[in-house]
């Protein structure tokens, strides 16, 4: 590329700023689902981890039995942030930094107050349903506070003792895209050809509704360009978790992507990538690693468009665009739109 052209492109991109989400997507609030609020490795015993997601301040920690828990970060007494100053968890109890009220780490119930023997029965932390899966701490969210309605996709479906999965790399970014459009992008098969310069047009052969959400199975490409794929599918847990598996001659790739809103303007997008162990680090890198690198490149390319786009309620769809409207029907159910 000519240097002057390259400089012009860089200048143009630097001048583009995403406008406020209320002008780009009229969807209100956040959809129900299981959201990743921490990596298991980052939640250690004896420590409170403060996080900010879903327009809330939260604390993530381990109770006396080592189970991960998520609670609102504010003390129900006078609103102190439980992870501020010397707030801590000790002996399985969350201790408020302000008046040293002590709350059971598992139930959230106030166990004791240092200056009185009378504990108000309603004194309790706001606890959120929590589970751990595949190295992630997942929190259930429902806009009306309803209990979990389903479990997320079982990431162990493609586990193999003969060829275990090994961690390869991860992608972690703050996205400014309209929230649901990240998943919708996977149903826009035409962009694979036009944005990512694939010579073929991928085909989604089958869409299946499941207890956890939806499964999209792709047809094997007739003339593979780079990777001889025998099988590829995506599993969607509501609108918050994407599981991607691709199997081919001599390699396997698996990706777990999580989308967790920070507020109405942005969300955290994290993708954890695994490759099937061939027994050789060199072969893993040459085959599985090459596929993972291709996926990482495509994620980065997508971000350059998605972070600035607008969610159109009535897009003009043409032949070859992929089953975008079928995804929208699914998303409408998750969002409980009428």
d(Cα 165, Cα 98) in Å, to the nearest integer? 46
The model's confidence at residue 224, banded by pLDDT at 50, 70 and 90, is: low
* Distance spanning both ends of the chain, measured CA to CA: 49
Q: Check: CATH 3.30.70.60 for 165-335?
A: no
d(Cα 221, Cα 217) in Å, to the nearest integer? 12
pLDDT value of position 336 = 78
pLDDT value of position 338 = 40
CATH 2.102.10.10 positions along the chain are 33-141
DSSP notation for 143-191: TT-PPP-SPPP-TTTT--SSS-EEEEEEEEEEE-S-TTHHHHGGG-THH
Which H or E run includes 232?
A: strand 229-237
Q: Check: CATH 3.10.620.30 for 33-141?
A: no
Residues with Cβ < 8 Å from 171, sequence gap 6 or more? 269, 270, 271, 273, 296, 299
Provide the residue count of the chain.
Answer: 338
pLDDT tens, 45-59?
Answer: 999 999 999 999 999
Residue with token string 């309803």: 146
Smallest Cα–Cα separation from 268: which of 203, 329, 177, 334? 177
Average pLDDT of the chain, as a whole number = 89
CATH 3.90.380.10 positions along the chain are 165-335
Token representation of residue 186: 């996977």
pLDDT tens, 15-39?
Answer: 678 899 999 998 878 999 999 999 9
Pick the more confident residue, 270 or 322: 270
d(Cα 273, Cα 167) in Å, to the nearest integer? 6
8 A C-beta contact, residue 204 and residue 182:
no
pLDDT tens, 136-186?
Answer: 999 999 999 999 999 999 999 998 877 899 999 999 999 999 999 999 998
The burial class, CB within 10 Å (0-12 / 13-18 / 19+), for 17 is: exposed
The model's confidence at residue 199, banded by pLDDT at 50, 70 and 90, is: low
d(Cα 47, Cα 29) in Å, to the nearest integer? 30
Token representation of residue 333: 């159910």
Instruction: Find the mean pLDDT for residues 314-321.
Output: 90
d(Cα 172, Cα 156) in Å, to the nearest integer? 22
Q: How many CB atoms lie within 10 A of CB 57?
A: 14
Token representation of residue 85: 């100053």
Specify the 3-state DSSP secondary structure of 123: coil
Helices (H), 19-121: 21-24
d(Cα 198, Cα 216) in Å, to the nearest integer? 20
- Give pTM, 2 decimals: 0.91
């Amino acid at each position: 590329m000519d240097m002057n052209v390259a400089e012009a492109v860089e200048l143009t991109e630097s001048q583009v700023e995403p406008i406020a989400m209320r002008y780009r997507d009229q969807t209100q609030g956040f959809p129900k689902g299981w959201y990743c609020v921490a990596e298991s490795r980052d939640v250690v015993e004896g420590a409170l981890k403060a996080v900010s997601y879903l327009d809330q301040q939260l604390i993530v920690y381990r109770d006396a039995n080592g189970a991960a828990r998520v609670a609102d970060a504010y003390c129900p007494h006078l609103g102190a942030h439980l992870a501020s100053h010397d707030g801590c968890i000790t002996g399985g109890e969350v201790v408020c930094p302000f008046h040293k009220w002590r709350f059971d780490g598992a139930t959230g119930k106030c166990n004791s107050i240092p200056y009185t023997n009378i504990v108000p029965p309603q004194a309790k932390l706001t606890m959120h349903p929590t589970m751990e899966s595949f190295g992630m701490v997942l929190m259930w969210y429902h806009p009306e506070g309803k209990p979990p309605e389903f479990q997320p996709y079982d990431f162990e479906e493609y586990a193999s003792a003969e060829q275990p999965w090994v961690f390869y790399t991860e992608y972690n970014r703050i996205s400014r895209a309209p929230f649901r459009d990240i998943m919708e992008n996977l149903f826009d098969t035409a962009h694979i050809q036009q944005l990512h310069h694939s010579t073929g047009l991928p085909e989604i052969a089958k869409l299946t509704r499941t207890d956890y959400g939806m499964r999209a199975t792709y047809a094997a490409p007739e003339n593979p360009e780079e990777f001889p794929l025998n099988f590829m599918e995506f599993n969607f847990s509501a609108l918050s978790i994407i599981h991607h598996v691709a199997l081919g001659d001599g390699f396997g790739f698996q990706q777990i992507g999580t989308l967790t809103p920070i507020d109405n303007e942005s969300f955290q997008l994290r993708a954890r990538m695994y490759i099937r162990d061939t027994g050789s680090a060199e072969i893993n890198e040459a085959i599985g690693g090459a596929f993972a690198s291709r996926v990482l490149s495509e994620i980065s390319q997508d971000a350059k468009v998605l972070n600035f786009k607008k969610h159109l309620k009535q897009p003009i769809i043409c032949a070859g665009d992929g089953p975008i409207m079928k995804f929208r029907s699914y998303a409408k159910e998750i969002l409980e739109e009428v």
